[in-house]
Structure 1
Amino acid sequence: MVDRFTSMLDCVDVGFLPDGILDQLPTAPQIGTTRVGAST
């Protein structure tokens, strides 16, 4: 049981997103000055 717990602790940091990534998700993708893939 302790071995499984410590293995889980080793993998916990893999699931976190880097700083600022959630702020960038809502932005529309661009190619040059043209927005692509957005409906607004």
Structure 2
Amino acid sequence: MYGIVLSSNEDFNDSTIFSIFIDEFYTLIYNVNKDLLNLYM
């Protein structure tokens, strides 16, 4: 992510915030699914 040189600070900030949001979202989904699997096992 940080290896890409972007044209402006705004682009960098937007993409960084978006990447963090995606990471948090997938982590949340993963944890919820893991808990559900534990319930059914």
TM over 0.5: no
Larger Rg: 1
- Choose between structure 1 and 2: higher helix proportion: 2
TM-score with structure 2 length normalisation?
0.35
TM-score with structure 1 length normalisation?
0.35
- Choose between structure 1 and 2: higher strand proportion: 1
Higher relative contact order (CA 8 A, sep 6+): 2
